[in-house]
């Protein structure tokens, strides 16, 4: 976000310093240029978030598996009952959701266990993925980068925009 704000302020400053003559279309960035610039900014922000997540896990001594999407998980207690959860099944979780600063934002102790159909229901994309690495009875730490959690908008309640979300969860039911 800071990077984007900085780039925008540079752009506006440069524009205000130019003479009042109509801008030449040859000097104006194309939509393709703007798209590439935004992709570069998003890529840089994702790399920065990834480094913060890596440091967070290391400081806690969590030996986590990182998936291709950037999700990190660590099964710290596993009963290993049955097969891993898969799309189309209904998963029921006990959970605690925290932000990187340690603030707990949601928990099953307050809100009750959470059930959803894997791959179908409206929950965080990263939660759908995380559950597929678990068997019934497994307990895991899961870190969802912002793009797998609530993205640029947050949840409009307790989770701010662009927040990394940490789940401590247990798969208590699977149908």
pLDDT value at 84 more than 80: yes
pLDDT value at residue 15: 55
CATH 3.10.50.40 is right for the domain spanning 58-174: yes
pLDDT value at residue 137: 93
Return d(Cα 134, Cα 128) in angstroms, integer: 11
Of 171, 170, 169, 163, nearest to 102 (Cα)? 163
Return d(Cα 151, Cα 154) in angstroms, integer: 6
User: Where along the chain do its domains lie?
Assistant: 58-174
State how beta strands 135-136 and 139-144 pair.
unpaired
The answer, as to whether pTM is greater than 0.75, is: yes
């Amino acid at each position: 976000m800071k990077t984007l704000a900085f780039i925008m302020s540079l752009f506006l400053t440069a524009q205000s310093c130019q003479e009042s003559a109509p801008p030449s279309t040859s000097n104006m960035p194309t939509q393709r240029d703007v798209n590439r610039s935004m992709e570069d900014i998003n890529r840089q922000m994702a790399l920065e978030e990834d480094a913060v997540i890596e440091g967070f896990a290391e400081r806690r001594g969590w030996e986590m598996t990182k998936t291709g999407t950037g999700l990190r998980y660590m099964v710290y207690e596993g009963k290993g009952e049955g097969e891993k959860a898969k799309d189309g099944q209904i998963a029921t979780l006990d959970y605690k959701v925290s932000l990187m600063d340690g603030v707990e934002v949601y928990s099953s102790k307050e809100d009750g266990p959470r059930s959803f159909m894997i791959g179908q229901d409206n929950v965080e994309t990263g939660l759908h993925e995380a559950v597929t690495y678990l068997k019934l009875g497994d307990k895991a730490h899961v870190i969802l980068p912002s793009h797998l959690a609530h993205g640029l908008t947050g949840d409009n309640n307790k989770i701010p925009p662009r927040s990394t979300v940490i789940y401590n969860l247990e798969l208590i039911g699977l149908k």
